[in-house]
Chain A
Amino acid sequence: MKANPAAVLTGTHFIDGDQACCEGALAAGANFSAGYPITPSTEVVERFAWRIPTVGGTFLQMEDELASSIAIQGATWAGAKAFTVTSGPGFSLMMEHIGYAAMTETPCVFVDVQRGGPSTGLPTLPGQGDMMQARWGSHGDYEIIALCPNSPQECFDLMIDAFNLSEQYRTPVLFMMDECVGHMTEKVVIPPADEIEIQPRRYTSLPPQEYHPFQPCADGIPEMVKAGDGYRIHVTGLTHDEQGYPAMEWRTQEKLVRRLVEKIRTHVPKIVRYEEKNIEDADVVVVAYGITSRIALRAIEMAREEGIRAGLHRPIVAWPFPEERLRELAGRVKGLVVVEMNYGQMFYEVERCVAERARTLLVPHGGGTVHEPEAILAAIREAVR
């Protein structure tokens, strides 16, 4: 299915990441958003509130993030494609509803424009401290998909992928921006609608008497219906059977949670995405994502000028983590340098994959500004020493 031309702002634009994220959502077919203002993410919903009335759809500013993150799920079950946008403290408040979306297999997108934390932290300045919260933040066990754009162009492009993934796998998808990427203004090229591929919702063709709302297809993912279509479905955050009915016992729990996890894990090769530069001859690989990956590139250039063969591995999809690729790299390089705007989050994933087959170094940063390339360069030197 192709994108709706009325929603796609085809052309070349000079806009920031937040605006591009909104245009990506519109191009992806989003026709509902509920949000609560929070810096540095608010521009996304401001633009949506401005754009959506002429495209066809609804924006509602809610009373808090709890309301926003569940209103989008009500809208989804009524047939809308919906997303919400937040940052830091708001992301913490949304955790319960990320779990609800995971449990009820409600496709929707949560955008987190990361700022410095913990707590109120640095509202106007960048951080990358929510990466593990994205992975594990809601209680209970589930797999998640999270994307990490590093430019306004990617904010547009990947937002479409985020919606498509959420429809394909019937899962909440987290869009992990950072303040720098959100507020950085660059060229963004928006293609014609007929060049944008849209994953439609996987609605069932079965009649109501044969349909079980949580009975999976061969790929582990159940087909959906929407409220008002005569299926009289029941949806609950409680552990439920294929009929959707609560069942308070361990066998149903095991079957359900295993499926929620497996429906992502069995498709990891299709979901995982990364970008690499100068990797073929590299002795040291810098692992970085979001804005940090762009600082890392400068450090890699400086290292190359010194004769150190450094390369970049940039996870575009952060969750599921590109484990297999990291294992391959670990077997053939001297060291891996992880650069992130926190005191070690994805670093532990890299360490786990490397399993002491190469040196692993962390270049941490508390957030508020980006790394100095020199700090990364020092770690690159150390890694090959």
Chain B
Amino acid sequence: MTETTIADQPVNPVEPFLRTERMPHIWCPGCGIGTTVNCFARALVESKIALDKVAVVSGIGCTGRVAGYVQLDSFHTTHGRAIPFATGLKLANPSLTVVVYSGDGDLIAIGGNHFIHAARRNADIKVICVNNFIYGMTGGQVAPTTPIGAMATTSPYGCFERPFNLPFLAESSGAVYVARWTAYHVRHIAHSMAEAFSKKGFCFIEIIAPCPTLYQRRNRLGDGLDTMKYYKQKSVIKNGASTKDVDLDLRGEIVVGKFVDINRPTLEQTMDLQLQHALGSSYSGGGGR
């Protein structure tokens, strides 16, 4: 029997995209976030984007830790505020591809106001939202995405609030690209991410992902593997579906696909256009732009 050394092992193709010195990561076994990061790395490869010009901005929470693991310029900001940080970053250096990578609680609860306004402005940022229906980092509290009836530590008798339908929220706020996948759809996720990187404007990708520790277990939805089987069986790909019709519930069908892909001038473009129109040749541009 020959001995296998580490040097003989094939290098994982996503390794160059990770801060491997920071491994092991904090995510639980069966968590979907790591899967999405794998897709993210593959999307960077697929899009052939210059990595020195990609910046990742996260808020707070389990998904908020993504910024700390990617081998890119990365900013772990405050709770809910990744989007306005990213807006400033992008406006001051438009040559950057700015990706906001965060969770449902961070982006949609505490950061909800920034989410709708960045979409309205069509800020040129790519928002990846890992939606696990729960606050994982703090121990499993109810979120604005928690389905009615689902158990959480702060809804011990079941959630009684209607959750947000995130693709509908994104589209109605002005996003130019809206897609939803589950952590089972790894190739679709990577492809959507690559599409978003090459598209101008506010792009939103929701990724439904398991939180086996705090959501699946408390709601008797099995472990990570059971959840993958559920995603496989209950997901229906409906590209172009009306976002009005893609609400989610506890155990029902999950409509996935690319729902929106339109073109609209970005914040930078409308700003330049208006200021050029008003000021003519005395407009000096945005500084960094």
**Cα(A31)–Cα(B289), bound, Å:** 11
Chain B interfacial positions (CB closer than 8 Å to A) = 19, 22, 51-53, 55, 57, 67-68, 71-78, 80-81, 83-93, 95-96, 113-114, 117, 271, 275, 279, 282-289
A100 near B78 with CB under 8 A, answer yes
Residues in B with CB closer than 8 Å to A306 are: none
A234 and B74 within 8 A (CB): yes
Knowing A54-B283, A71-B88 are in contact, say whether A236-B68 is a contact too (CB < 8 A): yes
Minimal beta-carbon separation of A211 from chain B (angstroms): 13
Given contacts A57-B286, A58-B286, contact A75 B75 (CB under 8 A): no
CB–CB A74/B57 < 8 A: yes
For B67, the closest partner residue in chain A by CB is A234
Q: In the complex, are the beta carbons of B68 and A74 less than 8 A apart?
A: no
| A49 CA to B42 CA, complexed, in Å | 41
Q: Is the CB of B117 within 8 A of A67?
A: yes
A67 contacts B81, C-beta separation under 8 Å: yes
A97 within 8 A of B: yes
Contacting B at CB under 8 A, from A45-73, are: 53-58, 60, 62-64, 66-68, 70-73
| A102 touches B (CB below 8 Å) | no
Contact flag A238-B81 (CB < 8 Å), given A57-B286, A74-B86: no
Most chain B beta-carbon contacts within 10 A, residue among A32, A66, A70, A74: A74
How far does the alpha carbon of A195 sit from the alpha carbon of B233 in the complex, in Å? 72
Instruction: Give CA–CA (A6, B287) in the complex, Å.
Output: 12
Min CB–CB distance A224 → chain B (angstroms): 13
Name the B residues within 8 Å of A76 (CB-CB): 88, 92
Let me know if A63 and B113 touch, CB within 8 A: yes
Please state if A60 and B91 are interface contacts (CB–CB under 8 Å).
yes
14 CB-based A-B contacts, threshold 8 Å: A31-B287, A31-B288, A32-B91, A53-B275, A56-B286, A58-B286, A63-B114, A67-B114, A70-B85, A74-B57, A78-B93, A226-B93, A228-B73, A232-B51
Contact B55 A70 (CB under 8 A): no
Task: Choose from A66, A77, A246 the contact partner of B75 (Cβ within 8 Å).
Answer: A77
Cβ-neighbour of B72 out of A57, A58, A70, A232 (below 8 A): A232
Within 8 Å by CB of B96, from A34, A55, A71, A227, lies A227
Bound CA span A235–B68, Å: 8
Inside 8 A of A291's CB, which chain B residues have their CB?
A: none
B287 and A57 contact, CB distance less than 8 A: yes
Cβ-based interface call for A82 (8 A):
yes
Contact A233 B73 (CB under 8 A): yes
Contact with B along A14-53 (1 / 0, CB 8 A): 0000000000000000011010000000000000000001
A231 at the B interface (CB under 8 A):
yes
Q: B89 and A75: CB pair below 8 A? A: yes
Is there a chain B Cβ closer than 8 Å to A245's Cβ?
yes
Residues of chain B lying within 8 A (CB to CB) of residue A89: none
Q: Which residues of chain A are within 8 angstroms of B285 by Cβ–Cβ distance?
A: 56
Query: Which B residues are in CB contact (< 8 Å) with A137?
Result: none
Give the chain A neighbours of B71 by CB distance below 8 A.
Answer: 232
In the complex, are the beta carbons of A78 and B89 less than 8 A apart? yes
A364 within 8 A of B: no
A55 and B71 CA atoms in complex are apart in Å by 36
Q: What residues of chain A lie closer than 8 Å to B53, measured between beta carbons?
A: 228
The 7 residue pairs across chains A and B that have the minimum distance between CB atoms: A74-B88, A78-B92, A71-B88, A74-B89, A67-B84, A78-B93, A56-B284
A236→B75 CA distance, assembly (Å): 6
**B52 close to A232 (CB less than 8 A):** yes
A79 interface hit (Cβ, 8 Å): yes
User: Across the interface, do A237 and B78 meet the contact criterion of CB distance under 8 Å?
Assistant: yes
Contact of A234 among B68, B78, B287 (CB under 8 A): B68
Q: Which residues of the other chain, A, contact B77 by a CB distance below 8 angstroms? A: 70, 73, 100, 237
